[in-house]
Amino acid sequence: MLKVPDHQVAGHQARNGQLGPLIDDSGRFYKPLQDDDRGSKEVAFYSSFSSNTRVPDHIRRLFPVFHGTQLLEASDGSGLRPHLVLEDVVSTRSHPSVMDIKIGSRTWYPESSEDYIQRCFKKDRETSSLSLGFRISGLQIYGNEESGFWKPERKLVQNLSAADVRVVLKKFVSSDLPVDPNSDPDCSFAASVYGGSTGILAQLLELKAWFEDQTMYHLNSCSVLLVYEKEKLLIGERSDAEVKLIDFAHVTEGKGIIDHNFLGGLCSLIKFISEILTSPDDCTTKACLRDSEKDKEILTSPDECTTKVCLQDSDKNTNHSENGTIEGM
């Protein structure tokens, strides 16, 4: 029995007769392959990545488990279609708060067609991608049993300013209801979700360390998914905060070159989250103070991530970008 995912916040959605991903009750996510080379590129990446012995285990766990491909009836009723079979990363969660963040100041790559580059470049300029190195593609935040989820329109969150992005990242880890425009985010859950040795910041720093060395893949137009369970925090349990990388239809070979575009955007996101944790006075509570020396080591070095590493590495990049660096904050 396949069904439409309830907690998908970005990308093509299988609603109203549209083509999109499906899930089952066994914890698997079925993503239809696109007709052009994007589908074959994504299969090729997952096949390569899942069998690549040079990928460390602590990095591999930040990617969905790949279970191959399968022919399934498409959600739009168009007949049988090949689907990627992946881990459903929220299948074990009851009320997950989820944020999809597209990483990189550019979402195109030099081998793309001129038409595709222009379309992507236009969107990168109109959103925060070019200025911040990332953009929020979609999110949902669980409030409580009565209020349910806050799930703003994707067009709204994609056009946020830097100040608005910071507010949304605070709302994501706050106890007050996000739908109240007059409330200041209290960051009550920042320490439990973003901080700690297993929190979101620590996982992003692990990813950053790997991207500072790995030259196998360039993850163009990929997203970082941030997930946690607020309901567990409300009853005193761990948040099970988790980072997952998704969307690999535009991955290209690294050819021995560091992926500065992805690394720069990742560093910018790390800087935003670090500042929330190290500046508790910005929130209405002191919830961001750390409770262990190990946590302090993780949280007191936001400057180690330079936000100006996204220098373009080809003439083609330069021709289409007025600003080859991430401006940062």
- In the chain, domain spans: 2-278
Percent of the chain with pLDDT over 90: 58
Least confident of 1-5, 158-162, 178-182, 291-295: 291-295
Mean pLDDT value of segment 3-13: 78
The pLDDT value recorded for residue 151 is: 87
Q: What is the mean pLDDT of residues 130-151?
A: 90
CA distance 22 to 253: 29
| Structure-model confidence comparison of residues 54 and 231, the more confident one | 54
CA distance 276 to 111: 37
pLDDT band at 82 (very low <50, low <70, confident <90, very high): very high
Q: What is the mean pLDDT of residues 97-106?
A: 95
Report how many helices (DSSP H) and strands (DSSP E) the chain contains, helices first: 12, 11
Q: 287 or 217, which is more confident?
A: 217
Of 65-79, 146-160, 271-285, 298-312, where does the model show the most confidence?
65-79
Write down the pLDDT at residue 323. 40
pLDDT attached to residue 289: 38
288 pLDDT more than 60: no
Banded model confidence at residue 150, pLDDT cuts 50, 70, 90: confident
The model's pLDDT over 244-258, given as tens digits with 9 standing for 90+, comes to 999 999 999 999 999
Q: Which residue has the higher pLDDT, 150 or 288?
A: 150
The whole-number pLDDT of residue 282 equals: 56
Compute the 3-state secondary structure of the chain and give helix, strand, coil in percent, each to the nearest 5: 35, 20, 50
Residue 290: pLDDT over 60:
no
pLDDT for the residue 325: 35
In contact, 327 and 132? CB cutoff 8 Å: yes
The per-residue pLDDT for 324 is 36
The Cβ of residue 206 has, within 10 Å, a number of other Cβ atoms equal to: 16
Alpha helices in the chain (DSSP H): 37-51, 57-60, 114-126, 129-132, 154-158, 162-171, 190-193, 200-211, 230-234, 260-278, 293-299, 315-319
Query: In this model, does residue 29 exceed pLDDT 50?
Result: yes
Question: Tokens 């996000």 correspond to what residue?
Answer: 178
pLDDT of residue 111: 82
Who has greater pLDDT, 287 or 82? 82
What per-residue confidence (pLDDT) applies to 180? Answer: 62
Q: What is the mean pLDDT of residues 155-168?
A: 86
Calculate the average pLDDT of the chain: 83
Q: What is the CATH number of domain 2-278?
A: 3.30.470.160
d(CA 318, CA 322): 7
pLDDT bin (cut points 50, 70, 90) of residue 109 is confident
Does 19 score more than 50 pLDDT? Answer: yes
Say which residue, 296 or 41, is predicted with more confidence. 41
Is 84's pLDDT higher than 90? yes
Residue 319 reports pLDDT greater than 90: no
**Which is higher by pLDDT, 312 or 116?**
116
Q: Residues 183-236: pLDDT tens digits?
A: 688 999 999 999 999 999 999 999 999 999 999 999 999 999 999 999 899 888
Q: What is the arithmetic mean of pLDDT over 8-15?
A: 72
- Which residues is 2 bridged to in the sheet? none
What are the phi and psi torsion angles at 68 (to 5°)? 90, -155
